[in-house]
């Protein structure tokens, strides 16, 4: 079981952009912050992707493999083992999201 992501988790795109989250979860917390779900909105700012041609930075995270057993308010949770793809504005995949910190108290699957 892996540690669940919450609103205090620190995530980055592979090029150093910072992921910010808008969560609709207002009920369930882990370590005093709301648990993240695959339906939440994940935006990326500050991506320094060095493109060949026009700028092509990461702008959001699309979760393709959330947890398979843990749910909050009817939606699957996200953990350190979840797979999120960083995508550009034209939906081109730029790499996977990197979780650099999350709460260590509550885990899920």
pLDDT tens digits for 13-67?
999 999 999 999 999 999 999 999 999 999 999 998 766 667 789 999 999 999 9
Rg (CA), the chain: 14
Higher pLDDT: 36 or 104? It is 36
Q: Tell which residue, 96, 83, 103, 74, has the closest CA to residue 15.
A: 96
Residue 63 forms part of a structural domain: yes
The number of folded domains in the chain is 1
Residue 54 forms part of a structural domain: yes
Domain residue limits at 86: 2-102
Residue 107 forms part of a structural domain: no
Residue 109 forms part of a structural domain: no
Confidence class of residue 91 from pLDDT cuts 50, 70 and 90?
very high
Distance separating alpha carbons of residues 20 and 23, to the nearest angstrom: 10
Q: What is the pLDDT, as a whole number, of residue 103?
A: 81
Distance separating alpha carbons of residues 104 and 62, to the nearest angstrom: 24
pTM of this structure: 0.90
């Amino acid at each position: 079981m892996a540690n669940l992501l919450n609103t205090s988790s620190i995530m980055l795109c592979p090029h150093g952009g910072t992921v910010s989250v808008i969560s609709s979860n207002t009920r369930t917390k882990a370590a005093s912050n709301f648990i993240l779900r695959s339906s939440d909105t994940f935006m990326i700012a500050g991506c320094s992707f060095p493109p060949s041609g026009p700028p092509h930075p990461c702008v959001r995270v699309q979760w393709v493999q959330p947890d398979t057993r843990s749910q909050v308010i009817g939606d699957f949770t996200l953990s350190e083992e979840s797979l999120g793809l960083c995508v550009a504005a034209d939906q081109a995949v730029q790499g996977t999201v990197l979780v650099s910190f999350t709460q260590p108290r509550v885990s899920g699957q």
